[in-house]
Amino acid sequence: MNHPIRPISEAEWPAFIAVLEEAFAVTFHPVEIERFKALTPMERTLAAFDADLPVGVTAIFDFDMTIPGGTRLPVAGVTAVSVLPSHRRRGILNSLMRRQLQDIKESGQSIAVLYASEAGIYGRFGYGRAADTVFFRIPKHGSAFVKNAPTDPALRLRTAIPAQARAEFEQVFDAVSGTRPGLYTRSPDRWGSVLADEEFDRRDDGRLRSILAEDDGGVRGYALFKIKRGFTDHDVPEGEVRLIELFAVDPAAYALLWRHVLDRDLCSRVYAWNRPIDDPIQHLIAEPRNLNAGTLDELWARVVDLPAALTARAYAAPAELVIEVADEPCPWNAGRWRLVTAKGTCERTDDAPDLSLPVQVLGASYFGGRSLMSYGAAGLVTEHRPGALRELSTAMSWDPKPWAGLVF
């Protein structure tokens, strides 16, 4: 059955939301729907129609996302992918994804990123697992820092109502967001959504709270968190600090903010559910097993315009080689490309390849967080010239590791 695809009109927004609510089995609060609308350019939506009814939808958030080297690249943040349960497994997602990749290419964005509801969905459309998120469950009793953890007597803490400290959060976030691939420029609407604290946002974790680290010169970091209150049968406090985000411009402010959330009165642990894989807290906790860490995939990335993407980022070491790329959904990327990082060029060639790889692997390693050598060991990259795999793997690696810190 044919399901024509086009962007929705504003009048079709309720029908668009209805597909999401059904597919995700959620009921949004009207304020949430308005917030989402403010973040979603109508012309960046797509819906597949059954007669007049949207039965499959998706949208794009436009992000300026930091890539290796610090450039903030305009990327397409794919979101709201939903197909009505009555219409699932008839190829509607497939049609939406292919059309969306065309649109992204035409809009001039060379990279698409997304946060997957299920990790098995997007590989077939050329996305690769590009970044990880780590969760920590740190008990207060096991959270002592190493003896040489940084301190600065000039620093002090200040409790603030989050909405009232927004300008200071923005100052810190703007200072750090260019330093880690995956972080992005936050629009005013995105800040509104991060700091959302209506009654229905509080659910059972209480209201949004914040603490700032500052000195006489101004703010140097902040933490946003909630506190899930709790007591044992014997009235021993066992509240949980649920850390939402913690950013600091220097190590001493970072350590002080962590110390604060770990020591919070009436709490027995911190649950930090969304942290970067190389989070420095791992080196500050003297008994690192108490981090109780676990990892999940975070950003998935898709190279949409290969030469534009590969020449936009910086490389950790020089590389000069011909890569042969397989890319069925985006045939304009398929074939052989000569990448010369020293010249910043990536051009089509008929020369023999040094490496053959699928586009998913390029997406996975684009932000510098995934080892090409490891894909080689898995048999998913083929090396034709000895040394070529290590050369490109080293060049594409990056520190710090990628992380967006955002579920979108």
Binding-site residues for acetyl-CoA, please?
81-83, 89-94, 117-118
Minimum gap (Å) between residue 122 Cβ and ligand ACO: 7
Minimum gap (Å) between residue 94 Cβ and ligand ACO: 4
Phi, psi (deg, nearest 5) at residue 294:
-145, 155
Q: Which of 28, 115, 145, 408 is catalytic?
A: 408
> What is the rounded CA–CA span in Å between residue 365 and residue 124?
17
Give yes or no for a contact between 211 and 221, defined as CB atoms under 8 angstroms apart: no
> What is the rounded CA–CA span in Å between residue 219 and residue 225?
18
Of 131 and 310, the one with the shorter C-beta distance to ligand ACO is: 131
Of 40 and 210, the one with the shorter C-beta distance to ligand ACO is: 40
Question: SS3 for 215?
Answer: strand
How buried is residue 326: exposed, middle or buried, by Cβ count under 10 Å (0-12/13-18/19+)? middle
Give yes or no for a contact between 363 and 302, defined as CB atoms under 8 angstroms apart: yes
Contact footprint for ligand ACO (CB under 6 A): 23-24, 56, 78-83, 88-94, 114-118, 120-121, 124
Of 88 and 202, the one with the shorter C-beta distance to ligand ACO is: 88
Of 48 and 256, the one with the shorter C-beta distance to ligand ACO is: 48
Q: Which of 16, 61, 122, 173 is catalytic?
A: 122
Minimum gap (Å) between residue 87 Cβ and ligand ACO: 7
Minimum gap (Å) between residue 67 Cβ and ligand ACO: 20
Number of CB atoms found within 10 A of residue 248's CB: 24
Number of CB atoms found within 10 A of residue 235's CB: 7
> What is the rounded CA–CA span in Å between residue 56 and residue 78?
14
Q: Please report, in range form, the residues annotated as the binding site.
A: 81-83, 89-94, 117-118
Nearest one of 407, 184, 193 to 300, comparing CA atoms: 407
Of 88 and 348, the one with the shorter C-beta distance to ligand ACO is: 88
> What is the rounded CA–CA span in Å between residue 186 and residue 66?
12
* Chain position carrying tokens 């190829």: 91
Across the beta sheet with 72-83, the strand order is 5-6, 45-50, 53-66, 72-83, 111-115, 299-303, 128-129
- 254 classed as catalytic: no
> What is the rounded CA–CA span in Å between residue 307 and residue 54?
35
Minimum gap (Å) between residue 20 Cβ and ligand ACO: 8
Minimum gap (Å) between residue 83 Cβ and ligand ACO: 4
Of 123 and 178, the one with the shorter C-beta distance to ligand ACO is: 123
- 173 classed as catalytic: no
How buried is residue 335: exposed, middle or buried, by Cβ count under 10 Å (0-12/13-18/19+)? middle
Q: Which residues are identified as catalytic? A: 122, 408
